[in-house]
């Protein structure tokens, strides 16, 4: 049985710490390195000191310390998982291009320029990029697209509810935008032309075919998304609720194991899950 060597970018963030735990406990994966922002106080500390917070044993991982740069991690890994910020992700994509190391990107808030760079680098490096690594959410994306083909804009208004913890910066979330894209694809329209992010600036009734977004940021909610199709006579709600972040982490690790033997290209969780 091959043991996949996985490196982690942003290992001390919320998702990074969950990844450390998952990769350590998974018998098919090992931690091959991790790095953080150079200003972090834990730079140079052993990775085991972080993992010990999650497992009921005193573990040791010789010669594995938290680094301030990613070059060594990329060099020593079969694949690197990145849940950071758009700026850091772009730096990591560059390192992936240099080292030819596959990378799994779960960072949200990426703009069109970021996505274009990822697309270009994927011509020489295999990349999995998804706004949401959850198996359940990716099923929801598929169901939403199929439903929107049947529930036409002439008969059903489409609304997306996006709820996350108070710390989340980007809004709408990457998942909410992907749900919007699923609706748009199902209806053969452009999300950019149909999305409605603010109804306070204009005093007007709803336009036919609009795809609305309602955003909530509060508490420690891991993530909840609901797609509503509403007609004059009925309403259909498609909902996914994440109880914790482990579902995103498990999906990312599955993507990491999947991509290591793939040719260069840009992949999504749809490919990983064979949806």
Task: Given the residues 164, 195, 225, 257, select the one marked as catalytic.
Answer: 164
53 is an active site residue: no
Judge whether 167 counts as a catalytic residue: no
Can you tell me the distance from the alpha carbon of 178 to that of 176, in angstroms, rounded to the nearest whole number?
Answer: 5
Contacts for 127 with CB less than 8 Å, ≥ 6 apart: 93, 96, 102, 103, 104, 105, 118, 121, 259, 265, 266, 267
Phi, psi of 273, deg, nearest 5: -90, -5
How many angstroms separate the Cα of 271 from the Cα of each of 49, 116, 128, 133, 262? 35, 19, 9, 12, 11
Q: How many Cβ atoms from other residues are within 10 Å of residue 120's Cβ?
A: 12
Could you say which of 168, 250, 262, 271 is catalytic? 168
DSSP character string of 245-262: THHHHHHHHHHHHHHTTP
Instruction: Give the three-state DSSP class for 273.
Output: coil
Residue indicated by tokens 């998952």: 22
The Cα 100–Cα 78 span in angstroms is 10
Tokens representing 34 are 């991790």
Question: Active-site residues: which are they?
Answer: 164, 168
């Amino acid at each position: 049985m091959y043991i996949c060597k996985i490196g982690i970018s942003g290992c001390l963030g919320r998702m990074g710490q969950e990844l450390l735990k998952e990769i350590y406990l998974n018998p098919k994966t090992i931690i091959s390195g991790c790095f953080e922002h150079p200003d972090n106080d834990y730079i140079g500390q052993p990775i085991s000191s972080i993992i010990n917070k999650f497992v009921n044993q005193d573990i040791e991982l010789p010669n594995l310390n938290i680094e301030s740069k990613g070059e060594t991690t990329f060099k020593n890994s079969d694949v690197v998982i990145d849940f950071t910020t758009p700026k850091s992700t772009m730096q990591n994509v560059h390192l992936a291009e240099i080292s030819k190391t596959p990378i799994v990107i779960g960072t949200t808030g990426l703009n069109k320029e970021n996505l274009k760079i990822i697309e270009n680098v994927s011509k020489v490096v295999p990349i999995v990029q998804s706004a949401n690594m959850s198996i359940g959410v990716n099923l929801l994306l598929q169901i939403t697209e199929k439903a929107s083909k049947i529930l036409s804009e002439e008969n059903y208004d489409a609304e997306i509810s996006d709820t996350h913890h108070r710390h989340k910066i980007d809004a709408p979330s990457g998942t909410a935008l992907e749900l919007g894209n699923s609706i748009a694809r199902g209806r053969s329209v452009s999300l950019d032309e149909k999305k409605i992010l603010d109804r306070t600036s204009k005093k007007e009734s709803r336009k036919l075919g609009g795809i609305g977004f309602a955003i909530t940021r509060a508490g420690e909610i891991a993530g909840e998304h609901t797609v509503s199709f509403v007609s004059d006579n009925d309403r259909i709600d498609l909902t996914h609720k994440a109880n914790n972040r482990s579902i995103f982490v498990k999906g990312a690790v599955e993507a990491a194991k999947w991509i290591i033997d793939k040719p260069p290209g840009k992949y999504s969780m749809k490919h990983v899950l064979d949806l």
